[in-house]
A and B are shown apart, each in its own frame.
Chain A
Amino acid sequence: MNAVLVIDDSAIMRKIILRQLSQAGIPVDSALEAADGAEALALLRQRTPALILCDVNMPNLSGLGLLSRMREENLALDVPVVMITTENSEAQVRQALALGARGYIRKPFTVDDLKSTVTPLLTAAQPA
């Protein structure tokens, strides 16, 4: 049910983020991973997760590129996407939000940061 897709070009970072989700008490029944936007896109054509955590800067297809493609292909548009970045770029945040991202978090973040960003999105996404 609660599949989470973590997209980051560093395998170690994906592992850390997945561990942080469980430390934050966010239920993850199955963890999906993708190393870049292109891999994520292929995965999203097969499955629809309950939450997407997506790095911004990645080879092949960036996080922002992925958001555009998801809109074009009408993929997982109801799924909350939280963008992960290393920069404090307001333009990047605006662009991500305009493309449909629901949240934004800056690396390195703590378990508490993750919890406070993700929990409201998941609660909002629950069907009434």
Chain B
Amino acid sequence: MKARKIRVLIVDDSAIVRRILAETIAAESDIEVIATAPDAYVARDKILALHPDVITLDLEMPRMDGLTFLRQLMFLNPVPTLVVSSQGQSSCAATIEALRCGAVDVVAKPATPHALRNLRLTLAEKIRGAAVSRPRPATDTPTSRSRRAISAADIAGVTDDPITVGIRKAPASNSASIADRRIASPQSISKRHVVAQRSSRSLIAIGASTGGTVAIQEVLTQLPADMPPILITQHIPAGFSSAFAERLNRNCAIEVREASSGDMLRPGLALLAPGDHHLVLRDGPKGLTVDLDRGPEVCYLRPSVDVMFLSIAESVAASSAIAVLLTGMGSDGARGMFALKQAGAATIAQDEASSVVYGMPREAIRLGAVNSIAPLSSIAPLLVRLALASKLHTSPESTLQEAFL
């Protein structure tokens, strides 16, 4: 039996953009454009009449802007929405806000030949991703207020129980012995002690795609400032990454910025791959630094999570690294995570229930690259615990087990 086509509504005030999107989609056998709308009011009527599976949404429209429309849509009648945005500074900020408000993904407006080519290569896959996603209403975190970072007191009481997989060593049977090694009480952890312990983890690397901007924000806003260095690759078109980094930086205790070639890694600093550049780790004479690489796209992706993970797997930092693969369509990151696990890194995949699209984490799990599967809400506490744990006496696997207790 032939699967039903994905039915798409195009919302854009530009007739040219509507036509380009429609023509791009027409080349796909499993996707069809059921209607187009030049503004939010027409869009609302067509959504009610036609129930599209996916909406592509322009943010800059007359009568009602796309962001206002999106907020109402996600509140009243959530439909998976792909933002089609220009790359001006204000639209980038609006796009990142749209992703927070529940939009699933973003494609750059076909304003340049390069953007047009990218659109043709990625639009269909992003629509497929949106179609299988679970749109979620905006997180109630106010954008202006920083979410409180986790303190030692918080993690001492963590009782989340993520499923632990891929552990080939038998789980410790003596729960009392593990209990002994647990953090005894929040008061026992002095700040200095924490910092000293944390130096045992070289870095944290996070990869994500569809639904990733919200997931990354959820994780990063909970991290305290003295975390190990963090590297992030989120699939995002060129131009949008700096707005994303700025938003994260405003809302996080750690410093977050778009990476530049030669940046040194340091605790409390998260570096985000700029759109259209691979973020790679270099271990040179001066220590760990990053490089931006405009090498070939990997499966049409740049930045690629695999490229970032593999560069870490190859480095001296691998055995003390922590890798996290979050929500996203496709399989980017799985192969790199496998190499990282082989090299001794602790590896974590977001679970299905909390993923917007359970593609990349599932592939990593299928390959056997994952130490632990965790819901999004548990990932930040888990990272804090792993960063606290001394790797000298424990393997990543036993540390992961302890971290869940």
On whether the two chains bind one another, the answer is yes
Residues of A within 8 A of B (CB): 10, 12-13, 15-17, 19-20, 23, 86, 107-112
Residues of B within 8 A of A12 (CB): 310, 313-314, 339
What DSSP secondary structure best describes chain B's contact surface? helix
B358 on the interface (CB 8 Å rule)?
no
Most buried by B among A15, A16, A86: A16
Given contacts A23-B319, A110-B395, A112-B395, contact A16 B368 (CB under 8 A): no
In the complex, how many residues of chain B place their beta carbon closer than 8 angstroms to a beta carbon of chain A? 16
Q: A108-B368, A111-B344 are in contact. Are A16 and B338 (CB under 8 A)?
A: no
CB of B115 within 8 Å of the partner chain: no
Given contacts A12-B313, A12-B314, A23-B319, contact A86 B342 (CB under 8 A): no
Query: Can you spell out 5 A-B residue pairs with CB atoms less than 8 angstroms apart?
Result: A10-B339, A16-B343, A17-B342, A108-B342, A111-B344
CB neighbours (8 Å) of B395 from chain A are 110, 112
| Contact surface of B with A, Cβ cutoff 8 Å | 310, 313-314, 318-319, 338-339, 341-344, 367-369, 395, 397
Q: Nearest chain-A residue to B339 (Cβ)?
A: A12
Residue on A nearest B337 in the bound complex, by CB: A108
Shortest Cβ gap from B366 to chain A (Å): 11
Q: State the CA gap A109–B338 with chains docked (Å).
A: 10
Shortest beta-carbon distance from A40 to chain B in Å: 20
Which of B313, B341, B343 has the most C-beta atoms of chain A within 10 angstroms of its own C-beta?
Answer: B343
B319 engages A13 (CB within 8 Å): no
Residue pair A19, B342 in contact (C-beta under 8 Å): no
- Partner of A109 from the list B318, B339, B342, B369 (CB cut-off 8 Å) is B342
| Residues on the B chain within 8 Å of A108, using CB | 338, 341-342, 368-369
- A16 and B369 contact, Cβ closer than 8 Å, known pairs A107-B342, A108-B342, A109-B342: no
Q: Which residue of A lies closest to B335 (CB)?
A: A10
Closest chain-A Cβ to B254's Cβ sits at a distance in Å of 29
Q: How far is the CA of A20 from the CA of B343 in the complex (A)?
A: 7
Contacts of B313 in A (CB 8 A): 12, 16
By the criterion CB–CB under 8 Å, are A16 and B341 in contact? no
Which of B339, B344, B368, B369 is A13 in contact with, Cβ under 8 Å? B339
Residues of B within 8 A of A19 (CB): 318, 343
List the B side residues contacting A16 at CB < 8 Å.
Answer: 313-314, 318, 339, 342-343
Residue of B nearest to A11 (CB): B314
Residues of A within 8 A of B338 (CB): 107-108
CA distance A107 to B368 in the complex (A): 8
Bound together, the chains give a CA A111 to CA B391 distance in angstroms of 14
